[in-house]
């Protein structure tokens, strides 16, 4: 009897996890999610860590976003390109970019201006921008 309860509990937990992952994919839909997940100060700069998910049914071969970094006073610090590389469908990827000469506590906002490059053989050119979803787990605002 104890064995049956253990098996049923394992099946229930497995189903709950599968449902949660499925719900996240359904919530994202056919879009790209870019989340500023963390920042870390390093010698001479700040490393930004992003979580990115391609919700489209096909791979994005190359995704490069034009990004504007603002200081905490709201002034533009720089305009840069972040190359997120290849994004397989439905699989999260982590990308890191080091911003030289910028202290993490001096960064107030990240503005994603749009896709500079979006290469995807089986998707429209607008796949990287249409319904782009932006999020942050930091105190830094992310907009687009």
Which pLDDT tens digit goes with each residue over 81-116?
Answer: 999 999 999 999 999 999 999 999 999 999 999 999
- The tokens describing 131, both together, are 């319904």
- Whole-prediction pTM value? 0.80
Rounded Cα–Cα distance for residues 83 and 85 (Å): 5
User: 122: which DSSP letter?
Assistant: T
Going across the sheet that includes 133-136, the strands are 93-100, 45-54, 32-42, 133-136
Mean pLDDT of the region 34-63: 97
Q: Are 52 and 115 in contact (CB under 8 A)?
A: no
Spatial neighbors of 132 by CB under 8 A, at least 6 apart, are: 31, 32, 34, 112, 144
Mean pLDDT of the chain: 86
């Amino acid at each position: 009897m104890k064995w049956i309860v253990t098996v049923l509990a394992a099946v229930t937990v497995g189903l709950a996890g599968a449902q949660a992952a499925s719900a996240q994919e359904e919530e994202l839909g056919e879009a790209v999610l870019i989340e500023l997940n963390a920042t870390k100060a390093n010698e001479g700069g700040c490393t930004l860590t992003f979580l990115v998910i391609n919700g489209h049914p096909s791979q994005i071969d190359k995704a490069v976003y034009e990004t504007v970094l603002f200081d905490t006073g709201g002034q533009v610090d720089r305009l840069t390109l972040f190359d997120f590389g290849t994004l397989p469908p439905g699989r999260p990827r982590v990308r890191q970019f080091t911003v030289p000469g910028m202290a993490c506590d001096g960064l107030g906002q990240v503005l994603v201006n749009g896709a500079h490059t979006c290469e995807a053989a089986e998707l429209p050119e607008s796949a990287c921008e249409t319904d782009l979803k932006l999020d942050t787990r930091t105190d830094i605002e992310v907009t687009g």
